[in-house]
Amino acid sequence: GELEGDTILESEYVLLLYFLGRSGEPRARKAAEYLRRKQLEGGGWAIYPGGPPEVSASVKAYFALKLLGDDPDAPHMARARRAILDLGGIEAANSFTKIYLAIFGQVPWERCPAVPPEMILLPRWFLFNIYQMSSWSRGIVVPLSIVWAHRPYCPVPARASIPELYRDGAHVAPVNAPSTLKGRLWRTFFAFADSCMKEAEKLPVKPWRGRAIRAAEQWMLARLDKSDGLGAIFPPIVNAVLAFRCLGYPPDHPVVAGQLRALEKLEIEDGDTLRLQPCFSATWDTALAVTALAESGLPADQPALLRAARWLLDHEVREPGDWRIHAKRAEPGGWYFEYANEFYPDCDDTAQVLIALSKVRFPDPLEEQRRRAAIERGVRWLLAMQNRDGGWASFDRGCDTEAFTYIPFADHNAMIDPSCEDITGRVLEALHVLGLGTSAAAKRAARFLLRKQLPDGTWYGRWGCNYIYGTWLALWGLTREVLDPADGRIERAAAWLRAHQNLDGGFGESLRTYDEPGAKGIGPSTAAQTAWAALGLMAAGRGSAESLRRAVSYLVASQRPDGSWHDEPWTATGFPRVFYLRYHLYATYFPLLALAQYANEVP
């Protein structure tokens, strides 16, 4: 299914095309038209439908449109300019936005945070090395460090410059201003380190620079094999193109051309517009669809399920990747999110694929043996990725050094990859399905979840919106074999769900809960979130029977004639407070799963 992101994708694509001398192509014109159609009435651009204007997204969109010739006095540009200035102007934009603008001469490089390539040379035992960053930040930052070191300049005509977006140095608080003393101390330390690195940049001799740039180049090249672009996600791919061009690779070099083809695969042309997906979600969608179909009554050897299972088996990871740094003894296994991303399997996908594969059976003995072997490898890999606190993160083990969140270029709010309540709940379900629900690993995971339960009974949702998602997965995992539904902690979570059911029987929650926790559980009903809540209520037992019946009635009544459901609100999370997502298939396989579970489990 389509994976939809915000307009930062189209804006950065236009900037990249301009950098490459390709801004005259139809794809740039169509991306610009998409930006115009996504502009809010107030003039800015939001990072999710119904959200407020966001300064970085708005600055990039305005600059992209101006680069392609939009008249700054046109009504839509005048409205955008006013909105951006009201939000704090360029000064309030995040670090990555400023670095992009610096490439085009719109922000002095001195105002951008230092991203020195020498950090790739730091030994792995050192507290601050690149493998203490989240995998997605690593993929963004390594190529970006090459860009920062070269400081490329792509001139733009005077008519396209954006000095009008400055507020004359008006002070704007940092995006992630720390609220604790420890945070303020780390922020002060990194600010001092940043200033020192910028002073060192003025020295005529940089003894480690050449070696660092070569190491960063080799790091990127090593991760392009069996991958749809660096990290198989939009930001690292774009930064890789910029970095390779800085290193002198011509546009038609196979490495650069390969990254550009990966970006082109993400394009969705729709009439006069063009939008981009941040990546593909093929493995994720397939595993969840198989699970929902199997639960809905298809036999374990049904041909469609077997075809999907073969596809999943073909995409098993069989080579070590970055995860090996912190799980040295683990053997390759697991699954990644996209069509091709061999270096980066993740725990969430792996758990869901294991659940899906457990529900199929191949008539052919050799295929059945292959299925079982893949499950065994996946389980071993997953267990090796459990963190010391008992939980599971996304891509790495032990990637939770909080100090990294205060680095000046860390204002994208995604520098580390700590244990997540939602992923841990899903892994706990997978362990139950595979007969490991009472294992030591499962008991440690349960203790982690119980420690993370909030006073009102909910759990935070890191990868889905938000407390409904986290609470469903925690309840589903805990009640498989660890806790009885009558346990007070389970009932507390169920009571919260019941209290936040809408009058129409559905459930909904807005992405603004990541900024305003007081809004948790409040929002228009969506099919996906109603399904999550229904699954959570089922896990909580009979005390929620009436609320569950109303949720199921909402799903039945809102189903479309073709059998699907449709959700306009976005319900998924990339980076909380920074980047959100809409999975177009969420509104179909989750309701199907909830209705199937209801039919199977409720008398």
Q: Which residues of 279-317 are buried (b: 16+ CB within 10 A; e: fewer)?
A: bbbbbbbbbbbbbbbbbeebeeeeeebbebbeebbebbb
3-state secondary structure of 46: strand
3-state secondary structure of 53: strand
In angstroms, rounded to a whole number, what is the distance separating the alpha carbons of residues 126 and 118?
13
Spatial contact of 225 and 342, defined as CB atoms under 8 Å apart: yes
In angstroms, rounded to a whole number, what is the distance separating the alpha carbons of residues 267 and 269?
6
Task: To the nearest 10°, report the CA torsion of 466, 472, 473, 476.
Answer: 170
Question: Which residues, in sequence order, are CB contacts of 309 under 8 Å at separation 6+?
Answer: 290, 356, 357, 360, 362, 371
In angstroms, rounded to a whole number, what is the distance separating the alpha carbons of residues 364 and 372?
12
Of residues 268, 215, 208, the one with CA closest to residue 243: 215
In angstroms, rounded to a whole number, what is the distance separating the alpha carbons of residues 67 and 50?
27
Of residues 339, 330, 329, 371, the one with CA closest to residue 354: 371
Of residues 581, 515, 463, 466, the one with CA closest to residue 134: 463
Spatial contact of 93 and 55, defined as CB atoms under 8 Å apart: yes
Of residues 434, 433, 430, the one with CA closest to residue 386: 430
Helices (H) and strands (E) in the chain, counts: 21, 5
Active site residues: 348
Q: What is the CA radius of gyration of the chain?
A: 24
In angstroms, rounded to a whole number, what is the distance separating the alpha carbons of residues 405 and 304?
45
Spatial contact of 428 and 482, defined as CB atoms under 8 Å apart: yes
Spatial contact of 176 and 411, defined as CB atoms under 8 Å apart: yes
E strand residue ranges, 115-272: 267-270
Specify the amino acid at residue 535.
L
In angstroms, rounded to a whole number, what is the distance separating the alpha carbons of residues 287 and 176?
35
Structural tokens at position 284? 């994720």
